[in-house]
Amino acid sequence: MAEAVGAVAESLPGDRARAARTVLDQVVLPGEELLLPEQEDAEGPGGAGERPLRLNAGTRSRGRVVCGPGLRRCGDRLLVTKCGRLRHKEPGGGSGGGVYWVDSQQKRYVPVKGDHVIGIVTAKSGDIFKVDVGGSEPASLSYLAFEGATKRNRPNVQVGDLIYGQFVVANKDMEPEMVCIDSCGRASGMGVIGQDGLLFKVTLGLIRKLLAPDCEILQEVGKLYPLEIVFGMNGRIWVKAKTIQQTLILANILEACEHMTADQRKQIFSRLAES
Amino acid sequence: MAGLELLSDQGYRVDGRRAGELRKIQARMGVFAQADGSAYIEQGNTKALAVVYGPHEIRGSRARALPDRALVNCQYSSATFSTGERKRRPHGDRKSCEMGLHLRQTFEAAILTQLHPRSQIDIYVQVLQADGGTYAACVNAATLAVLDAGIPMRDFVCACSAGFVDNTALADLSHVEEAAGGPQLALALLPASGQIALLEMDARLHEDHLEQVLEAAARAARDVHTVLDRVVRQHVREASILLGD
């Protein structure tokens, strides 16, 4: 009976909150609560309300901690809402307390302002195009949001075309809006994606990994065949090589990269480079 | 009448378990590539498969869209080969609808629906083999599938069934124990806070015994949480190793 009581006691809710610093890069699950570094000091040894007197007041910066994807504020703690690894980034300019977020694997995209995505035009209604970006609503794209577009000079966009653009409005309460120009009015690579090529879907985690600054997969792929490639943060990749066969090989490699270790990948690349 | 002895004098049940012991649980996440989230769970001989799509556009009539929350749409289906006798169950029959409503109530309590207004989250659960505790297996499978899909949740939802025989509360009933006709209770719990998402019982049980049965079900649900916790951590570790972290 003693062990039954013990088992019940340790699973009671209560002090399950852990300091965020101690679980960095570890797996966290929904329902866990995390303490921010400031609360940790207040609850540390020395107890209620005692704070050591600091002579240089500037070092303890009580900056704002930014709560990223997968975390919600719950009272004065952070509640984990997705399963994944907890990450932290120190603030660049010394202000604020940094960003905490949960790196989770997901296939379904949720529009975020500023993300560059690949969309498929599904309808033309009046002055706007409806673009399917894989979220819960089609995004709207005005025909004036292309480089060099005026009321007389409409862009040549048909239903079924692929568009690479970025979100200017993307929150949970409004329909997402995207544009194909940047803040200076230049296209900078956005707009209608050309003919041919292949569009396929991968998970969001793989896209983030491929878009990381020092990604070796992309360098190896580039050495294999000459290609054009567009990555959308909504999990879509468009790829085009000289022949259809090369395009299909590249698409299969990128899709399989998710499940392969680095060694297996190098083997496949070396085998393809020989043939 | 020489009936089946559900609890022997030494405290063993029909399948050799103790009163508060769960059946063996095995679970896997990410079994379908094309769905946003999927999971498969085996609790003893009960096997359930859950698939989640969403959050996506509302299908069907736009009038059903809720302006401040996501719509959670749950459908339960039992395979024809799941029970001892092969029985063809039409799609909209009473039991499936009722189970669908129970699942919806359970998951609306756990999923953070305010983050996705005017969209829809679909949860489809199929029971492949039914050996008692089907509601619990469905809820556990659906929890893992929702986690696999990356939909934000307040907490896990863990469920277990419980019964009452010979003044002892039994946890995780099998089909033989359910068919014997005693009182049985299904409980879905959010383990971290101890809040109950759904409590269902449609039998007669004396009020004095309710506390004991509820306590047994809650303890069993927390044990299920321990197992599912391990499964999810293992899955996340494997996924992040392959992504090269």
**Cα–Cα distance, A226 to A239 (Å, whole number):** 11
Among B153, B242, B243, whose Cβ lies nearest the Cβ of A81? Answer: B153
Question: Tokens 């005693």, residue?
Answer: B182
What are the E-state strand segments in chain B? Answer: 25-29, 37-43, 46-56, 71-78, 120-129, 158-165, 168-171, 184-190, 195-201
For the segment B189-237, what is each residue's pLDDT rounded down to a tens digit? 999 889 999 999 988 899 999 999 999 999 999 999 999 999 999 999 8
Q: How far is CA A132 from the centre of its chain?
A: 18
Residues B31 and B40 sit within 8 Å (Cβ to Cβ) = yes
Scanning A141-170 for CB atoms below 8 A from B yields none
- Amino acid at residue number A177: E
Residues A138 and A124 sit within 8 Å (Cβ to Cβ) = no
Which residues fall within 8 angstroms of residue B75, CB to CB, at 6 or more apart? B96, B100, B122, B123, B124, B125
Question: Tokens 């083999």, residue?
Answer: B129
In angstroms, the Cα distances linking B236 to A78, B42, B47, B54, B154 are: 20, 20, 23, 20, 18
Q: In B, which residues are within 8 Å of A209 by CB distance?
A: 243-244
**Cα–Cα distance, B109 to B116 (Å, whole number):** 15
- A136/B118 CB distance under 8 A: yes
For the segment B154-191, what is each residue's pLDDT rounded down to a tens digit? 999 999 999 998 889 999 999 999 988 889 999 999 99
In angstroms, the Cα distances linking A127 to A142, A157, B162 are: 6, 12, 61
Backbone phi, then psi, for A271, in 5-degree steps? -65, -40
**Cα–Cα distance, A202 to A217 (Å, whole number):** 15
CA distance B121 to chain A (A): 10
For B33, which residue in chain A has the nearest alpha carbon?
Answer: A107
Could you tell me the two tokens for B195?
């809040």
- Amino acid at residue number B189: L
The answer, for A266 touching chain B at a CB cutoff of 8 Å, is no
CA distance A81 to chain B (A): 5
- Amino acid at residue number B51: V
Question: Tokens 């060099």, residue?
Answer: A148
Could you tell me the two tokens for A174?
């409004």
Per-residue pLDDT tens listing for chain A (275 residues): 443 333 333 333 444 678 877 888 889 999 888 887 765 544 444 444 455 554 554 444 456 788 888 899 888 888 999 999 998 888 776 666 788 889 888 889 999 999 999 999 999 988 899 999 998 889 999 999 998 888 888 888 999 999 999 999 998 888 999 999 988 888 888 999 988 899 999 999 899 889 988 888 888 888 888 999 999 999 999 999 999 999 999 999 999 888 888 888 888 888 888 87
- A31/B154 CB distance under 8 A: yes
Report the CATH number of the B21-243 domain: 3.30.230.70
The full 3-state SS of B129-166, as one line of letters, equals ECCCCHHHHHHHHHHHHHHHHCCCECCCCEEEEEEEEC
The answer, for A210 touching chain B at a CB cutoff of 8 Å, is no
- Per-residue pLDDT at A16: 64
CA distance B64 to chain A (A): 15
Which of the listed CATH numbers 1.10.357.10, 2.40.50.100, 3.40.1390.10, 2.60.40.10 matches domain A18-39+63-103? 2.40.50.100
Residues B140 and B159 sit within 8 Å (Cβ to Cβ) = yes
DSSP state of B193: T
Residues B243 and B193 sit within 8 Å (Cβ to Cβ) = no
Among B57, B194, B233, whose Cβ lies nearest the Cβ of A137? Answer: B57
- Per-residue pLDDT at A59: 47
Q: Are strands B37-43 and B71-78 parallel, antiparallel or unpaired?
A: unpaired
- Give me the helices (H) in A138-190, please: none
Q: Is the pTM of this model over 0.95?
A: no
Residues B149 and B54 sit within 8 Å (Cβ to Cβ) = yes
Which residues fall within 8 angstroms of residue B160, CB to CB, at 6 or more apart? B22, B133, B136, B171, B172, B186, B187, B217, B220, B221, B223, B224
- B57/A138 CB distance under 8 A: yes
Average pLDDT of span B94-103: 93
CA distance B242 to chain A (A): 6
DSSP state of B115: G
For the segment B24-79, what is each residue's pLDDT rounded down to a tens digit? 999 999 999 889 999 999 999 999 999 999 899 888 888 888 889 999 999 999 99
- Amino acid at residue number B1: M
Q: In A, which residues are within 8 Å of B54 by CB distance?
A: 108, 136
Count CB-CB contacts under 10 A for residue B115. Answer: 16
Average pLDDT of span B9-15: 88
- A136/B150 CB distance under 8 A: no
* CA-based nearest residue to B215, from B243, B180, B181, B189: B189
DSSP state of B182: -
Helix, strand, coil percentages (3-state) for chain B, rounded to 5, are 35, 30, 40
Q: Is B185 helix (H, G, I), strand (E, B) or coil?
A: strand
- A82/B56 CB distance under 8 A: no
- Per-residue pLDDT at B155: 92
What are the E-state strand segments in A133-249? Answer: 139-142, 162-169, 177-179, 191-192, 198-201, 227-231, 236-241
**Cα–Cα distance, A235 to A230 (Å, whole number):** 11
- Per-residue pLDDT at A67: 86
Count CB-CB contacts under 10 A for residue B76. Answer: 25
- Per-residue pLDDT at A53: 57
The answer, for A27 touching chain B at a CB cutoff of 8 Å, is yes
Q: Are strands A139-142 and A177-179 parallel, antiparallel or unpaired?
A: parallel
Fold classification of A115-192 is OB fold (Dihydrolipoamide Acetyltransferase, E2P) (2.40.50)
Domain with residues A198-274, CATH architecture = 2-Layer Sandwich (3.30)
The answer, for A111 touching chain B at a CB cutoff of 8 Å, is no
Q: In A, which residues are within 8 Å of B233 by CB distance?
A: 27, 29
